[in-house]
Amino acid sequence: MSMIFRGRFIFTCCLALAATVLLTGLWHVPLSWSSQTSLLTGAMSRDDNPRFPHGGSPNSSPDFSVLLDSVRDQDSVSGETAESQDTGGETSQIGQRKDLNSAEIRTQSLTEVADIDRMYFLKREEVEKRIRERMEHIKSTLSSCKPKTIHLTPIPLYQINEMQMSWCPVFKSGSTTWKMYFIDKLVPTHKSYNLKELDKRKLRIRLKGGSRGISLFNEREGNKRFTVVRHPLSRLISHAQNAAKDSQMIAMEKEWIARAILDNREKLIKSYKDKNEYQNEFRDYFLWLRSKRKGEFRITKGNVFLEPPYPILDDLINHIIRTDAHNGHWAPACRWCKLCEVDYDYIIKLEEEPLELWYLLEQLGLWQDRALFLKRANSSQHPANMTDSDVFERNLRSLNNRQRAWVNKYFYDDFVLFGYEKLKLESGILNDNPFVEFDKSAFW
């Protein structure tokens, strides 16, 4: 009996000793980044209501002070580890990421939500200050503008009353991502991702009068108004690139593509006979596209209308200059979103994403859906080994001084309001394109 009792006693002591060792070991294990981010994801799991993504109330938000302290502690640990090991690998890069700007973040393709969260917690105060100063600058600059009398005139501002927000889509500025998000949320039985899906719900707002800060029909009081802007030339480049797709070639053939190509390139043809033949072949090419490329289409060598067989930036800009055509895809953001008539709460820059996007999602109460925005990010398709900056510079070099001057004047308000640098005029560039004087009064 005594042997049994002694055995049980020894067994109990061993269990107690093992538990002590285990608890001591766990106590000294440093918090990993996944553990830090779980502070946030845990809060999100407490409430599935998209209006209150942080749990509790619509005014609650993640405790950024706790998260920031834990991230800084982890940074110091990572830095020490990198110094001691001197591997120059992933560990040392983590310690350096807090010094990266938004452009470098996009270049390094930090697609993991945790990576961006980490950067955002470190730079949140800087991001908030930048956006606040931008909004103050915009409101101060627009304080002297005179709103036009716009009575019951529709504007592209969509009210999302269920989510307490109103959105103006500036095309070629990440609007596709937002459009898809809202359509999925509001029109579960949608047949496409066309903005008409939102029009069916009568989300387009109409202005009541002509005074600044006017109320808007059917907009819920307290809605936060926002939009996303982008460098004007980047928007034009993006639109020209998108127009090269077969589906867009077909959709926008009569809208502007066919006329832009024919008018802009016909000066390169010397023979009237060749011109007629090339034009007929150009029209046949669109028929071939509509047939979904059945068979082989042979392009006659020297047919400038099909070399290349899609519009380029030169075609687009000269078309707008020549026709003074109005289109939401290239309309200045200031004019398109009626900044002189409508007050906005947040205007972020596409170039400053993902950090400014993270701040906007936090303010709109969409924090728990940030992974959806990252997944749907409409990144541009560039040639291999070319960054956004490379594509921008290459297209800029293709423009002559008159085209650059036109961009500066046409998008004058956007350059001033959003702090973008105007295009520089270069010496030695041919000035062979027609130039239409810009009437700024049309925008004010």
Amino acid, single-letter form, for residue 71:
V
**Mean of the pLDDT values across residues 14-31?**
48
User: What is the spatial order of strands in the sheet that 224-229 belongs to?
Assistant: 204-206, 154-160, 165-168, 224-229, 346-349
State in Å, rounded, how far the first CA of the chain is from the last one: 100
Instruction: Tell whether the model's pLDDT for residue 4 goes beyond 80.
Output: no
Cα 98 to Cα 74, 115, 288, 392, distances in angstroms = 12, 10, 52, 26
| 112-116, 119-123, 230-234: least confident range | 112-116
- Kindly state the tokens that stand for 301: 């060598």
- Give the strand pairing for 224-229 and 204-206: unpaired
pLDDT cut 90: percent of the chain above it: 47
| 54-63, 77-86, 124-133: least confident range | 77-86
The predicted structure's pLDDT at residue 320: 96
CA angle 87, 89, 90 (to 5 degrees): 135
The predicted structure's pLDDT at residue 10: 63
Average pLDDT over the chain, rounded to whole? Answer: 75
Amino acid, single-letter form, for residue 228:
V
Amino acid, single-letter form, for residue 212:
R
Largest CA-CA distance found in the chain, in angstroms, rounded: 117
| 61-75, 186-200, 399-413: least confident range | 61-75
Q: How many other β-carbons are positioned within 10 Å of the β-carbon of residue 162?
A: 11
Burial of 179 (0-12, 13-18, 19+ CB in 10 A): buried
The verdict on pTM exceeding 0.75 is: no
Find out whether 207 and 150 touch, Cβ atoms under 8 Å: yes
DSSP E strand boundaries for 186-292: 204-206, 224-229
d(CA 410, CA 438): 6
DSSP state of 372: H
**pLDDT tens digits along 212-227:** 455 667 788 889 999 9
Instruction: Tell whether the model's pLDDT for residue 400 goes beyond 60.
Output: yes
**Mean of the pLDDT values across residues 5-13?**
60
Sign (positive or negative) of CA dihedral 195, 196, 202, 205? positive
Give 20's pLDDT tier (boundaries 50, 70, 90): low
| 55-59, 119-123, 283-287: least confident range | 55-59
The predicted structure's pLDDT at residue 340: 87
